Amino acid sequence: MMAANNYFGFTHGGTQYGAATASAAYGGQTGYAVAPAATAATYGTQRAAATGYDTAYQAAAATQGNLHAAHAHAHAAAAAASAYDASKSAYYQQAAAAYPTAAPPQPQPAYDTTAKPAYSTPATYAQQYGQGGARGSGGAKPAYGSVYTATTAAASYPSQPYTAPAAQPAKQTANRGNSAYDTALYNAASMYVAQQKTGGGGGWKNYNKSGVGATPQRRPKPQPKAQQLHYCDVCRISCAGPQTYKEHLEGQKHKKKEAAVKVAAAGGAAGARACGASALRCELCDVTCTGADAYAAHVRGIKHQKVVKLHTMLGKPIPSTEPTKLTPAKKTVAGAPKVSFVASGGLSTVGASSSVPRPADKEDEKVEEEDEPEVQPVGQDYIEEIRGDDGKALSFNCKLCDCKFNDPNAKEMHMKGRRHRLQYKKKVQPDLEVKVKPSMHQRKLAEAKAQRMLVRDELWARRRMHEAGEDDERAYWEGADWWRGPHHHHHHQGMGMGYGPVGRRPETSDDRHVLAKHAEIYPPEQQLQEIQRAVSHTEKALKSLSDALADHARPKNQAGKAVIKTEDKKDDKPEGKEDGRDNQLFSFVGEGEAAPASGDGAGAGGAGGAPVGGPGVRALKGVMRVGLLAKGLLLRGDRDVRLVVLCHDRPTVTLLKRVANDLPHHLNKVKGPNEDAKYKVELQPAEGAVQVSDGTVNVVVSLTSAVMREPAEGGDIKRDDKDVLPRQKCLDALAALRHAKWFQARAASLQSCVIIIRIMRDLCRRIPNWTPLNPYAMELLVSGVMQSASGALSPGEALRRVMEALAGGLILEHGPGLRDPCEKELVDALGNMPAQKREDLTASAQQFLRQIAFRQINKVLDMEPLPKVKHASGGWKFPRKRRRSNTDADQDTHNGDGKVVKTEEKADVSEINSNAKK
């Protein structure tokens, strides 16, 4: 404020101006500088302003040349200075608005129309002027603020300023002021103006602290040495002569600066001015410093000194070294009720009178003065001192900003500096407040970025929606045919079990391995047909035999309750089943004779024991497939299948012999004439069975009876009966029957269960440690494991889960054991397994489990690792979370050691790629 006072010292003492006209003129010009801005001031005082202007104009007209005009103005101002106190600030404003047009060299046609009517008394003007000057030094800051906003407001709300003031001449003058300014710059005299303008531009901000009507102290000024000194006010340089000066004025540098200044004056200054309230400004050099320290450094600096020298030489007012505080421009709403501004910028060329803007309203003067507290240095801890040998600090190193200083002062300044604070905020204290320099460029960038993000988000959202749909569809198709490929061959004549509905889970590598292994161990079509044929023939022959026995027995058994007609049975045949290929009991009992037991001759509905209580008189009641055949667990190379024939009474050796004797005959009978299979029937009394063999397939037919289970019934006598077949064998056959039924009812329906049991059978066949696991126990185990899973398991998961169960000690001593569901009592299906076997089996399963977990399921299955399938999705769909052990692993290494496949795979890849490009 003091600076301002000094700067515009002339405003106070009018008498002094009388003595030193030139200096007064200069001073006046400084005051002037603000004139263009001031023109933007209120219209409320227009009349008064016009009067003020009037005098100014007259004075200007009276003098010749711009310089003189300026002097005159100053003079007039000085003369009238005493009156200024009484004048209203508003007057002053208007006067300022008028001034630019007063410049004689500028043709201002509009000027007359606007200003003339107002011309009245010079006294008024003087008053105005004085007032203006005083205000300029005193309370101009608010004015500046309002000017600034007005201009910007004009830009953004063009309609606002123009509506109300349309009738007001001041506006026009103001507008013209701009053009006046332009031309003025080329005028020789305009150097003053220019100086005013720039100086004033800065000067406005000086006034913030001064109260209204503060009385500034004038500082005595030295006499100007040479009026002819060519001083460019915009660039603050002096030129040696008119020629150079002119050249300078036409030069790029000057024009640039000038343009910048113009923009600043016109309100574009906002950007630069809006910086932090803590910014300090050197009026003289028009330099903005970010802090007190920087300012101090600037004042000490050579550049500043030079300007000071020059200004001293020119006799220009030198503001005190007290820095000007910059406050952000005050925002006013355009079109505010009382105050309306007109775009300013018109620099009066000559207008010697007050040009410092003054707000019309008091309220405008009350600009909040946020005194930014002095910034506290931060991050002392992060500055390390580098000491010399003598322990004296040689230099400082800021670890946060990675910079060095030699000077403690520099260090201090650095610690207060914005860059350091930013670093501190970034690295130490995130909530530290750092003033951010709003840069137009940055803001634009940010806006552009936000815009881009918006566009991208939208794009993504759209694409996601699109893809969700696509994905569903794809999953649907994949889900639909997931099992189709590897499984079609399972549906073979009832040998394979049905599979439940499958989920949409992707096929894993484990699944593929298991399925591949399964395909490998699955019996070939031909083998299945051979077995099927042999079994079918045996079953038919047994039925035929049974019929023959029944026919034979009927004469003996006169008590036959049911009339049996073989013819009937033959008629039944086409309707009923021909053999036991549905893996159910193939009852020999005809429809008529079995009526009480089951209405259906096919016997599918009848449970194994159903015919027992029936009136059947047949010795052989029915036959059923058991074991592997019934369960569909045949593997490649399996040749032995089992049939169990249920007898009405205890099967005896006699009966067995009879069967063995008669069967070949019946076999030949049932076998088609063109089938050349030669069946050999072998009696195995110890097993309680006959074996039918056609060279490749062995069908063991065991005879048993449900009656064998009831030892209480005079068991002792019967057991002694030498004729009866071995009891244990019969019981085993019965158990086999039950197991087959259990399997069909419980295990076969579980997802993946049959596949895994086949795999496990293969495992038990291959690996000695697993051999002790009897097939039935294994089936129980696997089905239990499947059953306990919460949902359907894919083959790979199922195998792993079986291994998990075994590895977790399921079959170790403290485990629960495998309860046999086919026995009434609690029987452990694995009860007889020795401890060492359990131990070995568990250890083996544990090893297998870890091999499965670590992608070596092929070792468990004893097969070559399969090449990696190219996923239906790109690799990027599964971002890796685990660090890869080998970063350059690409498709080639994905294949594991399938070296042969490598080239194929590559071809595939390229094909896919080319497809993708299409």
Name the residue nearer to another protein (CB basis): 684 or 847.
847
Name the residue nearer to another protein (CB basis): 744 or 851.
851
| 290-319: burial string, b at 16+ Cβ within 10 Å, e else | bbebbbbebbeeeebeebbebbeebbbbbb
Name the residue nearer to another protein (CB basis): 205 or 512.
512
What is the Cα–Cα distance from 518 to 755, expressed in whole angstroms? 7
Name the residue nearer to another protein (CB basis): 102 or 401.
401
DSSP assignment of 473-537 equals: HHHHHHHHHTTHHHHGGG-STT-SPP------PPPPHHHHHHHHHHHHHSPPHHHHHHHHHHHHH
For another protein (CB under 8 A), the number of binding residues is 105
Is residue 463 close enough to count as binding another protein by CB under 8 A? Answer: yes
Distances (CA, A) of 374 to 396, 423, 664, 829: 23, 19, 117, 88
Is residue 186 close enough to count as binding another protein by CB under 8 A? Answer: no
Beta bridge partners of 231: 238
Stated as kind and residue range, the H or E segment containing 239 is strand 237-239
What is the Cα–Cα distance from 345 to 330, expressed in whole angstroms? 18
Query: Under a CB-based contact definition with an 8 Å cutoff, are residues 329 and 341 in contact?
Result: no
| Contact residue for another protein among 213, 875, 900, 910 (CB under 8 A) | 875
Name the residue nearer to another protein (CB basis): 141 or 838.
838
Shortest Cβ 865–another protein spacing (Å): 7
Q: Which two tokens stand for residue 114?
A: 């606007």
Shortest Cβ 877–another protein spacing (Å): 7
User: What does the per-residue mask of binding to another protein show for 820-839, with x meaning CB under 8 A?
Assistant: x-----xxx--x---xx--x
Is residue 487 close enough to count as binding another protein by CB under 8 A? Answer: no
User: What does the per-residue mask of binding to another protein show for 421-440, with x meaning CB under 8 A?
Assistant: -----xxxxxx---------
Query: Under a CB-based contact definition with an 8 Å cutoff, are residues 103 and 181 in contact?
Result: no
Shortest Cβ 836–another protein spacing (Å): 5
DSSP assignment of 411-460 equals: HHHHHHSHHHHHHHHHHT-TT--------HHHHHHHHHHHHHHHHHHHHH
Shortest Cβ 834–another protein spacing (Å): 9
| Interface segment toward another protein; rule CB under 8 A; list 313-321, 541-549, 731-739, 880-888 | 880-888
| Interface segment toward another protein; rule CB under 8 A; list 320-328, 568-576, 760-768, 793-801 | 793-801
What is the Cα–Cα distance from 44 to 96, expressed in whole angstroms? 14
Subset of residues 893 to 912 that bind another protein, contact rule: CB under 8 A:
893-894, 896-897, 912
Name the residue nearer to another protein (CB basis): 505 or 718.
505
Subset of residues 261 to 290 that bind another protein, contact rule: CB under 8 A:
none
Query: Under a CB-based contact definition with an 8 Å cutoff, are residues 564 and 592 in contact?
Result: yes
Subset of residues 505 to 524 that bind another protein, contact rule: CB under 8 A:
505-510
| Interface segment toward another protein; rule CB under 8 A; list 255-263, 348-356, 612-620, 794-802 | 794-802
| Interface segment toward another protein; rule CB under 8 A; list 131-139, 170-178, 201-209, 890-898 | 890-898
Shortest Cβ 901–another protein spacing (Å): 13
Shortest Cβ 795–another protein spacing (Å): 13
| Contact residue for another protein among 392, 722, 824, 880 (CB under 8 A) | 880
Q: Which two tokens stand for residue 774?
A: 């009897």
Subset of residues 843 to 872 that bind another protein, contact rule: CB under 8 A:
843, 846-847, 849-856, 865, 868-872
Shortest Cβ 194–another protein spacing (Å): 49
Phi and psi of 452, rounded to 5°? -60, -45
Is residue 558 close enough to count as binding another protein by CB under 8 A? Answer: no
Is residue 787 close enough to count as binding another protein by CB under 8 A? Answer: yes
| Contact residue for another protein among 501, 555, 714, 816 (CB under 8 A) | 816
Q: Which two tokens stand for residue 38?
A: 């001031």
Distances (CA, A) of 425 to 72, 292, 410, 428, 442: 57, 21, 20, 6, 19
| Contact residue for another protein among 236, 317, 800, 822 (CB under 8 A) | 800
Subset of residues 521 to 540 that bind another protein, contact rule: CB under 8 A:
none
SS3 content of the chain, % helix, strand, coil (to 5): 55, 5, 35
| Interface segment toward another protein; rule CB under 8 A; list 214-222, 279-287, 472-480, 548-556 | 472-480
Is residue 789 close enough to count as binding another protein by CB under 8 A? Answer: yes
User: What does the per-residue mask of binding to another protein show for 360-399, with x meaning CB under 8 A?
Assistant: --------------------xxx----------------x
Shortest Cβ 514–another protein spacing (Å): 14
DSSP assignment of 780-844 equals: HHHHHHHHHSSS---HHHHHHHHHHHHHTTTTSTTS---B-TTSSS--BTTTT--HHHHHHHHHH
Shortest Cβ 847–another protein spacing (Å): 5
User: What end-to-end distance do the CA atoms of the chain give, in Å?
Assistant: 75
Is residue 467 close enough to count as binding another protein by CB under 8 A? Answer: yes
| Contact residue for another protein among 392, 556, 824, 881 (CB under 8 A) | 881
Is residue 596 close enough to count as binding another protein by CB under 8 A? Answer: no
Contacts of 590 (CB under 8 A, 6+ apart): 564, 568, 569, 572, 601
Torsion of CA 352, 357, 360, 362, to 10 degrees: -130
| Interface segment toward another protein; rule CB under 8 A; list 302-310, 638-646, 700-708, 814-822 | 814-822
**Cβ-based burial of 65 (10 A; exposed 0-12, middle 13-18, buried ≥19):** middle
Measured CA angle at 694 (ends 544, 539), to 5 deg: 25
Is residue 494 close enough to count as binding another protein by CB under 8 A? Answer: no
Subset of residues 52 to 81 that bind another protein, contact rule: CB under 8 A:
none
Stated as kind and residue range, the H or E segment containing 238 is strand 237-239
